[in-house]
Chains A and B, each alone.
Chain A
């Protein structure tokens, strides 16, 4: 928890031009035990190495056919302790979910339970190779099959593809299955409809799969404009991609009506399931008429996220689309042994559209996600959704008296609370509030997304935070927002206490330096 010091000690608030609070600047640039760290290229030397390599035998010939490198590649050398310290020092300047509250909306930065890690490190899961004989990895195949079965049960969908590597990869998998289904019935459709309240990856996915993307507007309440969507349906519309709950943090109440209309017009319904954590155990997307939906294991099922680990985006399918799911999939034979259905299983593979990946998927994430499910049980998973929604509503109602909450009147929010920058004084913006929160010791919320809200601030507390942790965040958030409303000029210079002051994002984007310049 980002607790204020109980003894009442506070850092000196005076900030000098060089960014140091209080005392004199130090010779090293270090601030007590918070160490400055130069770039690797600035500390490394060409004549140093951390490993003792045998010297080259001049008589030895290579089999590279003259393609061997003749010049040194110019990498610097470091000793092992220098290397270890470099990365450890950098890691101390980083912020992660193990360090504090991380309310990044739409990203679901939740705690990664240590039991997940323990299970994933069991040698039977961690030390295996995808090319091992299947008889030697029966346990791992069973984990994939069991996880897939639970995903089907939780979503009310009969088919599942486990191999997609992350959310957007799962979207592509779903859209390719939709394309395969249309192609199979000789129906060449060209358009995918994407509402404004959908995730930004949805239109990118549809375009990547070769479809023309058309927007569907949102209502003033922040939901899909059903009338506009129905009016656009027709024989050229292949699919509709809807994020539910959507990026305004709202449940699309008319989903069943939308799905029925899309099906009646011969299209399929893709649901972006990135926000499934808000409804898991409470709503089965299959009951809403969904044909394909990806599930981000790193969001709903607590596997590491945001650089902490690889994503994983299994896709569940309706009866209509399940036969087109990608290879490989795990099946069980009569003797109870698990095996993978691959290209050579001509009959069993059916009309599968092909492969998304070389192997079976993110095994390490499967183990973690299944651990999360089994350790929570059915009642626990239901509580995951309830607590995620409760926590977000607590933040929404604790802030709406001072911070513009455009959809507060649309009813309870789901797993995230959305605010706008109305009434900020002195030209202050959402960015200034985000930087102010860094000084308070919090990773900022998502800013300027979704685009339908001016100066958007999207806060997602997740179910893993305690009430005490959320109360402290609210205290800090309110304090920074009040400074913004009062037009506090000082906020424009924030952060004061981060390892670096405010970065010039514009220069970084306009004139990026992509290589070290000595």
Chain B
């Protein structure tokens, strides 16, 4: 299952027609303890690079951007009860939402894991 990364520290997994989106381990470590996550409702159309969710930590509230355009199919209900999942398991159980892939070519501009690692090291 290929995984891509954005320079805004989101990750996106592609499995067939559906992609899963979350924030990276680096992002959660920078935000600190996550206290609240606001997720888009299923059916919401999201646009590449535009706000899709909000993540709030003890330090700040930050927008989470859609890595590609498409329609939200499912939001991670577990985050409502336990936002700490984003800290403990950012790149697995702490996923944010699943979405359709509006235009697969939008994935081309994203980073793979090696490129993202290099990008984080440069910050």
Residues of chain A whose beta carbon lies under 8 Å from any beta carbon of chain B: 447-449, 451, 454, 505-506, 509-510
Would A506 and B60 count as touching, CB distance under 8 A?
Answer: no
B83 within 8 A of A: yes
Cβ contacts under 8 Å, B59 to chain A = 447-448
Given contact pairs A509-B35, A510-B35, A510-B83, A451 touches B60 in the complex (Cβ within 8 A): yes
Complex: A509 Cα to B83 Cα, angstroms: 11
Give the interface SS of chain B, mostly helix, strand, loop or mixed: loop
Complex: A246 Cα to B35 Cα, angstroms: 29
B84 within 8 A of A: yes
Measured CB to CB, the closest approach of chain B to A203, in angstroms, equals 10
Contacts between the two chains (Cβ within 8 Å), count: 20
Given contact pairs A510-B35, A510-B83, A449 touches B60 in the complex (Cβ within 8 A): yes
Would A505 and B58 count as touching, CB distance under 8 A?
Answer: yes
Cβ contacts under 8 Å, A506 to chain B = 33, 35, 58
Cβ contacts under 8 Å, A447 to chain B = 59
Complex: A416 Cα to B33 Cα, angstroms: 28
Cβ contacts under 8 Å, B30 to chain A = 454
Could you give 17 example pairs across A and B, Cβ below 8 Å?
A447-B59, A448-B59, A449-B60, A451-B60, A451-B62, A454-B30, A505-B58, A506-B33, A506-B35, A506-B58, A509-B35, A509-B36, A509-B58, A510-B33, A510-B35, A510-B83, A510-B84
Complex: A308 Cα to B62 Cα, angstroms: 30
Cβ contacts under 8 Å, A449 to chain B = 60
| Interface size band for B | 10 to 19
Cβ contacts under 8 Å, B84 to chain A = 510
Cβ contacts under 8 Å, B36 to chain A = 509
Would A448 and B60 count as touching, CB distance under 8 A?
Answer: yes
Complex: A451 Cα to B35 Cα, angstroms: 18
Cβ contacts under 8 Å, A454 to chain B = 30
Complex: A454 Cα to B83 Cα, angstroms: 23
Residue of B nearest to A505 (CB): B58
Complex: A449 Cα to B61 Cα, angstroms: 11
Complex: A509 Cα to B58 Cα, angstroms: 7
Complex: A141 Cα to B122 Cα, angstroms: 60
Cβ contacts under 8 Å, B58 to chain A = 505-506, 509
Name which of A447, A448, A449, A454 has the most chain B CB atoms within 10 A of its CB.
A448
What 0/1 readout, one digit per residue, does chain B (52-69) give for beta carbons within 8 Å of chain A? Answer: 000000111010000000
Cβ contacts under 8 Å, B62 to chain A = 451
Cβ contacts under 8 Å, A505 to chain B = 33, 58
Measured CB to CB, the closest approach of chain B to A432, in angstroms, equals 12
What 0/1 readout, one digit per residue, does chain B (62-96) give for beta carbons within 8 Å of chain A? Answer: 10000000000000000000011000000000000
Complex: A362 Cα to B59 Cα, angstroms: 33
Residue of B nearest to A454 (CB): B30
Residue of A nearest to B30 (CB): A454
What 0/1 readout, one digit per residue, does chain B (22-60) give for beta carbons within 8 Å of chain A? Answer: 000000001001011000000000000000000000111
